[in-house]
Chain A
C-alpha cells in the first residue's frame, strides 16, 4: 500500500499529512461539486445554437447515426427543437448564457466553461455512476473518496467528505454514489441531512439524563484506559479511544458549523432560504460553504434524481430546475468570493450527460433526450481561469467536434487542482493498482489559470 491509511482527525498529524498527501502544490484546498442530476441541456444554457431556430420542427435524419443513446426513442422520426430561451452576453468575457440562469450569468467572468464534455453511457444510473466514480458499473470509489484518500481531512472534528443528496429523491444506487468502493470505508462520504439530525446517531439519546451520560463517558474512558494499559502494543485500542473523543467533539462541532439560524438574514435571503422553491438547494449550498470553511475537503450537492430530465417539456422542466438552483449557486459563488475563499475552492457544475437537439416528432410539447456526445459544464475558483472557455460542438449542438474532453478529464482536473496527480493516486485492489482515472484522463489545461 503506497499511502498509509489515515483516520480522519485521529492524530495531530492531520495537517502534516495534508502536506505530505499532495503530489504537487495544490491550487484548491476543497471542492464543491454541484451534481445536476438528470442532465442539463447545453443548448438551453451555455451553448447557443441559432441554427436550431432555422431547423425548428423539421424532421431530422438520423439514419447515418448508428449508435444512439436511447435506441427505442431514436427508432421513430424526430424533429429539431429550437431553444425556447434567449441568450445574452455576460461579463468582460462576453460569455453567452441563456435567460434560464440570470443569476449564475452575473458570475460569467468567474466561470471556466467546457462545452465538449463527453461520457460513455446514456442511461441515468450508469451515467451517474460514471460522473461520480469514472465507471459505469457499481463497486468503484467515488471522486470524493479518492480525494479524501489522497489528502485526509483538514478538520479534526468533521468528516472530510460530505454528500448532500436531496431526500425528496436520492440519486440512483444511493450511498454507492459517494461510497468508498474498494477503498477503506473511512473514505466514504458522510451524508449530511438538512434535517434536524445532520449525521446519523449524532445526538445523544434524549431519554438519558445528561449527568448520567457524562458519568457514562467517564466510566467508558476509565475502563478502556485500564484495559489498554497492559496492551500498549495494539495501536488500534488507542485509536478507538481517540475516535470516541472525536465523536464527542463532533457532537458539539457539527451542529455549530451547520447552524444556519445564526446566519445573517441577508445571507439567508441571498441563498434563497426564505423561498420554498430555492430553500432545499440553497440550504445545502450554504451548508457546503460552511463546511468548506471549516476544513471539509469535498462536498457534493445533488439535485433530486433525474430532476433535469426534460424528455416531456424542455421549457417547463428547465425553468423549474433553474429556478431551484440558479439563485443558490450564484449566492454560493458570491459568498465564497466575498470571504476570499473562491481562489482556494474549486466549484464544479456538471450533470451525467447533455441533451439532444431534437425530440420525437409525435411529441406535442418538445423535450430533449439524453446525449452523451456533449454537455456544457463549468469550473469556478480553485485555480481555474475565470472567463475562459474550451470546446466546440457542431452547429446543432448534437456532438462535440473540437477540443473534445471526457468526464474522466474533469476528474483528472479536479484531482490536479487539489494537488493530486491522477496517475499516482493509486490503490491496490483485485490484482492491480487502481485509479479514479483508470479509463483515461487529461487535465483540461486550457481552463487553468
Chain B
C-alpha cells in the first residue's frame, strides 16, 4: 500500500465523522446537552473544538496532545470515563480519528514568519555602519546583549581556515610561511583571490552542490546500474563554480537548459548536460509499474526543486496539504505540471573542448578494441571448453549435460560457478575455467570503460508537440495515489507567493514545450522571495558551519527561524545586486570581522552560558573536516594527490568478499594512481560507498543532503589508526621528510602548517628515533590529531 492510500483510508474509516458518534455513545450520558459536565459537550465537532473549562477537547492531528485522550488514558485525572472503562479498541479509534485530521493550516498572510519570508528581501543597511555591513548586523545584535565579537584569529589560523573553506585542502608550508611574513595589509584579501582563482575551488564547492542534488553515478535499488555519462554533470558543476557562473543562470540551466534562450548561456552542450539535475533520483530499473516509476521521478523532481532552490519542503504536500507551510496539495501538482512533458533521455552531446574530446574518442576506441579482442578470445575459449567437455565426458554435441554446462558459463563469477558446477574444483578443469572467466572479466571491464567515454548527456527532454500530440495532463492525486485522480491542474507557481492559483504563462521554447523555462525564470527572478535567500544562506552555512537559517532546505514554519533575518535579507539583495556572483559573496563574507574571529572568546564562559550554540556569532564555529577534505588533505600532505581534473570516475578498491556479493555488476578497480584523485572524482555508486567516506558522514546519495552530520564514533578512530589510507600515506610522508634537514619539523609544517613546539619536537623525536617506521608512526599521529581534523 502506498502512503497515500493509507491516509485516505484513515480519513474515511476512522475520520472525524466517526469521532462524534463514538463519543456520544461512550460519554454522552454526562457530556451532552445544556448541562454538560465540565462544560464539555460531545454533541458535535464544533462543540468539541470549543471544549470545556480546560480548553478544546482535541488538537487536530495530534492525539497525544488532545485533552480528550489525556483524560481517557489517565494522563490527566480524573481518568475518564469516571468509574468505568472504554470497550476495547475505542480509544485507538479515537486516537486515529484525531490523528487523521489535518493540523490547523498556517494562515500565510497573517503569520509573521511568512509575512517576512514571502516578501522579496530588501537591502536595508545595518543600524551600525562600517566597512563591511555584515559586521554591522552582527555587532549590533551582540551589543544588545552587552556582548562583542571575539578578536581576530591568528594569521596561521586564518589561512588554514580560508584554504579549507575555499579549496578543501590545507595551505602548503611555502604558502603559510609567505603569508605569515607578508607585510602587505591586503595580504589576506590577496590570499582569498588566489584561492578563488584556484581550479580546486570548483572541486570543493562543486561537491557541496552535488550533495544537494542527490548526485550519484548509479540508479540505486537492487540493480544499481551505472550511469556512465553522469560525470559530465559533475564536471559542469565544477566548471560553473570555477567560472563564477551567475547563480540565476546556473539555476535556469539545470531546470531548463534545453529551453533557455538568453544570450549569456553556456555552450549548448553544457546546457543539456546541466539537465542531469532533473534525473538524479534513484531509479528502480526493474520496477513492475512503469507508470508508477514515472510518477516517482516526477515526485522526486517536485520535491527536490522545492527544497534545493526554494528552501521549501514542497514534497510534504504530495499526499495532503502541507501541515506547516501554506502549500496546498494543489500547488504541489501545479508545480509538478511544469515537468509533465519531461522524459528521461541520454542525449547525444558532443564533448566541449574542456572535456578533451580527442582523449575521449581515443580512449573509447582503445577500450572498444580491447573489448572486441577479448570477445574473440572468449569465443575461442568457450569452443575449447565445449570440446574438452565432449572429450572428457564422452558425450555428443547435443548432450543435455553439455547444454547445462555451457549455460552455467554465464554464472556471474567463479565462486558461484563452484556452487553450480562442482566440476570446477577438479584439477583438469580449474585452469581453463579460470582463464575463461578472466577473459570474460576483461571484456566486461573494457566495455564498461568504453561506455564512460561516450558523447552522451545523462539528461531529459520534452515529449511535446510535434513529437507527441500534446503534453500529458496533470491531475491532483489524492493521497499521492496514481489511481486516485482528482482535479486537473495547469502548471502554476506557488500560490502563497503569487497570491493566486492562475496558470503560469508558458513562453515559446522552440521544439520544447517551454513549461520548465517558465518555472526556471520564476525561480531565478530577483523578485522570487526564496531563491537568493536560500543560496546565500547555503554559502554562509559552509563558511560558518551553520546557516543563518539552520535548516538550510526548510525555511518554512517547521524549520529554524533565522538568527539574523535582516542580515540574511541584506545578503540576498546584495547577491542579486552583484549579478548573482557566488565568488563576490565569498569575498564579502570572508573579509568580514565576523568571519575572521577567533574560535575562542576571552569571555568564553559568560558568553557560552548566555548563548551556548553561538547563534549570535560571538566567535567562529569549529568545523571538522568532512570526509572529502580529510581524505584529499592526507593525500596532498603525503605529496601523492593526483591532481587530474574531470572525466570519468575512478573506482576504489573494495574487499573481495564484498565485491563477490554484487549480483548485478562486477567491480573493476581503477589503476592505483587514479584512485589517488580527489574524492569528488571517485565513483558515486549508491550501493557501494567509499567505506572511509561513509564512516566520516558522507551523504547516502539517494536524497538531497543540505547539511552533513558530524558524528564522532570509534570506527572513525579505527579507520584513521589502522586503515590503509592513513598508513600508506603516512609512510609516503615519512619518505618525503626523511631526506630533509629536519624531518620532524618538515612533517609538522606539511600537516599542520607550523613548526613543532619544543615539547612536540621531543615527543616526535622519540618516534623518529626508530628510523623510517618511526617517522611513519609520527605521520600517522599527525593525521589523527584533533588539530588536524578541526578547522578553528
Question: Contact residues of A with B, CB < 8 Å?
Answer: 5, 7-10, 69-71, 120, 122-126, 137-139, 159, 165, 167-170, 172-176, 179, 181-182, 184-186, 190, 193, 195, 199-205, 208-209, 212-213, 215-216, 219-220, 222-224, 226-228, 230-231, 233-234, 236-237, 239-241, 243-244, 246-247, 250-251, 305, 406, 423-424, 428, 430-432, 438-440, 442
Contacts and interface: CB of A to CB of B under 8 A. Distances in A.
A243 B778 contact: no
Contacts of B401: none
B316 A432 contact: yes
Interface in B561-606: 599-600, 604
A126 B661 contact: no
B323 A185 contact: no
A37 to B, nearest CB: 12
A125 B686 CA distance: 14
Interface in B755-792: 759-760, 763-764, 766-767, 770, 773-774, 776-778, 780-781, 784-787, 789-790
B556 A431 contact: yes
B661 A220 contact: no
Contact of B313 (A5, A9, A120, A432): A432
Contacts of A439: 1, 3, 6
Contact of B600 (A159, A204, A233): A233
Contacts of B777: 208, 212-213, 215-216, 219
B222 interface: yes
B195 interface: no
Contact of B715 (A199, A204, A215): A199
A184 B694 CA distance: 11
Contacts of A122: 288
A170 B661 contact: yes
Contact of B767 (A168, A219, A233): A219
Interface in B721-745: 721-723, 727
Nearest to A182: B703
A432 B323 contact: yes
B622 A139 contact: no
Given A185-B709, A250-B714, 20 more contacts: A7-B711, A71-B288, A123-B288, A126-B284, A165-B661, A167-B658, A186-B713, A193-B657, A200-B691, A201-B719, A209-B770, A216-B777, A244-B714, A250-B718, A251-B718, A430-B554, A431-B559, A439-B6, A440-B6, A442-B92
A226 B661 CA distance: 45
Contacts of A305: 661, 663
A132 B223 CA distance: 18
25 contacts: A9-B714, A123-B288, A125-B222, A138-B220, A168-B661, A169-B663, A170-B661, A172-B687, A174-B658, A184-B697, A184-B709, A185-B695, A185-B713, A201-B723, A219-B763, A223-B785, A237-B786, A240-B717, A251-B718, A406-B1, A430-B553, A430-B703, A431-B313, A431-B324, A431-B556
Contacts of B1: 120, 406, 439
A328 to B, nearest CB: 19
Contacts of B786: 224, 227-228, 237, 240-241
A440 B99 CA distance: 11
A175 B688 CA distance: 8
B487 interface: no
A244 B722 CA distance: 12
Nearest to B776: A208
B712 A7 contact: yes
Contacts of A167: 657-658, 660-661
Nearest to B556: A431
Contacts of A124: 222
Nearest to A305: B663
A112 B64 CA distance: 30
B746 to A, nearest CB: 17
Given A233-B604, A241-B786, A432-B316, A223 B760 contact: yes
A6 to B, nearest CB: 10
A125 B722 contact: no
How many residues of B sit at the interface, in one of the four size bands? Answer: 35 or more
A139 B789 CA distance: 28
A14 B660 CA distance: 38
Given A174-B661, A190-B715, A204 B220 contact: no
Interface residue SS majority, chain A: loop
Nearest to A10: B712
Given A70-B288, A125-B284, A185-B697, A174 B722 contact: no
Nearest to A230: B600
B221 A173 contact: yes
B116 interface: no
A215 B766 contact: yes
Contact of B64 (A174, A209, A423, A432): A423
Given A165-B661, A172-B222, A431-B324, A205 B727 contact: yes
B309 to A, nearest CB: 15
A446 B703 CA distance: 38
Contact of A123 (B287, B307, B722): B287
B717 A120 contact: no
Contacts of A220: 781, 784-785
A430 B313 contact: yes
B259 interface: no
A432 B718 contact: no
Contacts of A224: 785-786
B208 to A, nearest CB: 18
A244 B780 CA distance: 14
A175 B694 CA distance: 10
B315 interface: yes
B712 A243 contact: yes
Contacts of A227: 785-787
Contacts of B789: 240
Contacts of A237: 786, 790
A173 B224 contact: yes
A69 B288 CA distance: 8
Contacts of B325: 431
A236 B709 CA distance: 13
B771 to A, nearest CB: 10
A201 B723 CA distance: 5
Given A219-B781, A223-B781, A201 B721 contact: yes
Nearest to A304: B661
A296 to B, nearest CB: 14
Interface string B634-659: 00000000000000000000000110
A247 B721 contact: yes
A170 B658 contact: yes
B558 interface: yes
A233 B721 contact: no
B722 to A, nearest CB: 4
Contacts of A137: 282, 296, 702
B382 interface: no
Query: 8 closest Cβ contacts across the A-B interface?
Result: A431-B313, A125-B222, A170-B661, A247-B717, A172-B222, A139-B702, A201-B722, A186-B711
A243 B6 contact: no
B264 interface: no
B710 to A, nearest CB: 8
A230 B315 CA distance: 46
Contacts of A406: 1
Contacts of A228: 786
Given A175-B689, A181-B700, A193-B657, A430 B781 contact: no
Nearest to A167: B657
B718 A202 contact: yes
A344 to B, nearest CB: 26
B687 A173 contact: yes
B716 A243 contact: yes
Given A167-B660, A173-B222, A247 B718 contact: yes
Interface-centre pick from A222, A247, A431 (highest chain B CB count, 10 A): A431
Interface string B649-691: 0000000011011110000000000000000000000111101
Given A125-B284, A237-B790, A240-B789, A219 B712 contact: no
B186 interface: no
